[in-house]
Amino acid sequence: MADRSAGDGRTAGTVTGAAGAESTAELGRRVLRLRTERGFTQRQLAEPAYTAAYVSTLEAGKVRPSEAALRHLADRLGVSYEELTTGRSPRDATRLRAAVTDARRALATGAAEDAAVLFAEVRDEAERLGFAEERSAALLGLGDCALETGDLTVARDHFEAVERLLAGEPLPRRIPAIRGRAVAHLLAGELRYSCYLLESSIDELNASGLHDPYALLLLYTAAIAPYMDMGAHARAVRAAELALALAPSVDDPGLIARMHRGVARTLIAEGRTAEADASLAKAQELYEQLRIHTDLAHCHWMRGYVHAQDGNLERAERELRTARDMLASKRAALFTVQVEVELADVLRRRGRTAEAEALLLPLLARTPAAGTANTAGGPDTAPGEARPGEAGLTADRGAVHAGGAHRLLGLIADERGDAEAAEEHYCAALSLLERTGAAGDLADLCRLLGDLLRREGRLEAAMDAYRTGLGHRAAPGTTTLGPAPAEPPV
């Protein structure tokens, strides 16, 4: 009854090696479980083609059955050949995929913590059933939930787990997890490493000829933000151009909308605000159709930034408040406080400095600069410690926006004549931004600090600040990024 394996003439029924023994033993246990569940004896399962002794040997993991034997057993047990050989029930796989879809819908329309509960249930059941594909989808969802709540270390752990699980799969299968990990590093302020992850994957895809449009569009779209923050504007523009060229080959409205958001950012930097607003309108329309609330909030956020750049501060404030309220309702803590930094900038420019300061101080989880009240804590909170459960901006959590908050507080202090507090805030911002490599913001900050020191008569210190700023402004991006990645044939 044993087949002959092609090659060396050994019988297929002979277990040869640990891997074969393990899979054969697992198959035997599965046959035993299914037979017992159905109340069959070994003879009833075996007849008419096989013997009870053969079934007994098979269940003990001592023989690897032929395909014919497996098909006979599957038919007698009332399961598919695939389910018997792999343990994967098509019904279970369909049910778990539907559960992943439900969890994705919950993440799009509700709070990330609630969606995480659903993803965790799928992950645990998929692991129990040995369904690697469904388990990786659930882990990817958990990573996205953690990004939204600002739990960046947890997010990275989930994305890395997906990469390990899919280590033997083609690279395009792992790209969503790599992109997620890059975004987590970006939000933490690790701009160079975020670029490295994305560019390395782009190079590997193109070098291996795996020009998967979806994977490449995901990577180019994700690369725009760290490029812009690092001052590598030419690379950001090229990434946006390539993303637009790839878009017609991708049938994913959510990803297309995200691409339009990224393209809009490059248009804003070039002063093409009308085109940027039109690109954001396309993204917003898609998000509204898909009911993806977090990304829709990001569109309001960026449209607020566009209006602020145009000097329409009233409309900017309205859009930013809408974005903040939407993100707060979804308990997207880190994104909420990042929007509040930009809202505070608009309030300051509208002359409402007290409101801006009151909005900024609670966002910083570290001790406020001298001359300001410690509103980040309270009477029962140590200096520099955020209240329990309250999201704050730190060096490893929203560092770019933390630097922006200190910069704004420095401007407010400077405008009211408090040079000491202004200098402390500028220096705190400088420390944060130098760690991230955000070149454009660093150059502007060094100018502000240099102007302050010059007015104080500290000319040598002012010159040092100006030199530092010029160093960051010269050839933006070239000192921290290697050669641009290879381009796909689009």
Does residue 326 contact residue 300 with C-beta atoms inside 8 Å? yes
Tokens 């246990």 correspond to what residue? Answer: 29
How far apart, in whole angstroms, are the C-alpha atoms of residue 346 and residue 31?
A: 68
Name the DSSP letter for residue 184: H
| Residue 370 pLDDT | 35
CA–CA separation, 64 and 24 (whole Å): 6
Residue type for 281, please?
Answer: A
Mean local confidence (pLDDT), 156-171: 95
- The label of the residue with tokens 């151009």 reads 241
Question: What average pLDDT does the segment 84-109 reach?
Answer: 87
More confident residue, 67 or 386: 67
CA 166/CA 181 separation, integer angstroms: 15
Give dist(CA 138, CA 116) in Å, integer: 9
Element (H, E) at 59: helix 52-59
Q: Residue 62: exposed, middle, or buried by beta-carbon count in 10 A (0-12, 13-18, 19+)?
A: middle
Question: Would you place residue 393 in the very low, low, confident or very high pLDDT band (cuts 50, 70, 90)?
Answer: confident
pLDDT for 472 equals 62
Strand intervals (E) in 406-472: none
Higher-pLDDT residue of 9, 444: 444
From 210, 245, 209, 205, select the one nearest 490 (Cα to Cα).
245
| pLDDT number for residue 110 | 86
User: Quick one: what percent of the chain has pLDDT higher than 70?
Assistant: 88
Q: What is the pTM of this model?
A: 0.76
Contacts 24+ apart (CB under 8 A), 184-187: 184/143, 184/146, 184/147, 184/152, 184/155, 184/156, 184/159, 185/156, 186/225, 186/226, 186/229, 187/147, 187/150, 187/152, 187/334, 187/397, 187/398
> What was the pLDDT predicted at 30?
86
pLDDT in tens, 284-329: 898 888 888 889 999 999 999 999 988 999 999 999 999 999 999 9
Average pLDDT over residues 381-407: 68
Question: What is the pLDDT of the chain when averaged over all its residues?
Answer: 84
Residue 164's pLDDT is 96
Q: How far apart are CA 225 and CA 244, in angstroms?
A: 16
Q: What percent of the chain has pLDDT over 90?
A: 59
For the cut 60, the answer to whether the pLDDT of residue 410 exceeds it is: yes
pLDDT at 396: 83
- What is the tens place of the pLDDT at every residue in 188-238? 999 999 999 999 999 999 888 878 999 999 999 999 999 998 888 889 999
Residue 473, pLDDT score: 55
C-alpha to C-alpha distance for 123 and 96, rounded to whole angstroms: 9
Average pLDDT over every residue of 427-453 = 88
> What confidence tens digit (pLDDT) does each residue in 226-245 have?
999 888 888 999 999 999 99
DSSP 5: P
In the numeric block, which tokens belong to residue 99? 């559960």
Structure tokens at 437: 């490599």
Between 446 and 480, the higher pLDDT residue: 446
At 365, is the pLDDT very low, low, confident or very high (cuts 50, 70, 90)? low
Tokens of 75: 């038919």
Taking the C-alpha atoms of residue 36 and residue 316, their distance in angstroms, rounded to an integer, is 68
pLDDT of residue 364: 86
Q: Would you say residue 45 has pLDDT above 80?
A: yes
Q: How sure is the predictor about 80, in pLDDT bands with cuts at 50, 70 and 90?
A: confident
The amino acid sitting at 200 is: S
| 333-349 helix and 293-310 helix, angle to the nearest 10 degrees | 20
Average pLDDT in the 68-96 region? Answer: 85
Question: Quick one: DSSP state of residue 11?
Answer: B
The Cβ of residue 418 has, within 10 Å, a number of other Cβ atoms equal to 18
Using DSSP, state whether 364 is helix, strand or coil. strand
Instruction: Please enumerate in sequence order all residues whose Cβ is within 8 A of that of 118, keeping only pairs 6 or more positions apart, or say none.
Output: 99, 102, 103, 106
> From the CA atom positions of the chain, what is the Rg in Å?
29
Is pLDDT above 60 for 431? Answer: yes
Start-to-end CA span in the chain (Å)? 55
Residue 486: band (very low, low, confident or very high) from pLDDT cuts 50, 70, 90: confident
- CA angle (255, 260, 265) in 5-degree steps: 125
SS3 content of the chain, % helix, strand, coil (to 5): 70, 0, 25
Cross-strand pairs, 364: 393
pLDDT at 5 over 50: no
Tell me, what's the pLDDT at 490? Answer: 63
pLDDT computed for residue 63 by the predictor: 87
When pLDDT is averaged across residues 22-29 and rounded to a whole number, the result is 80
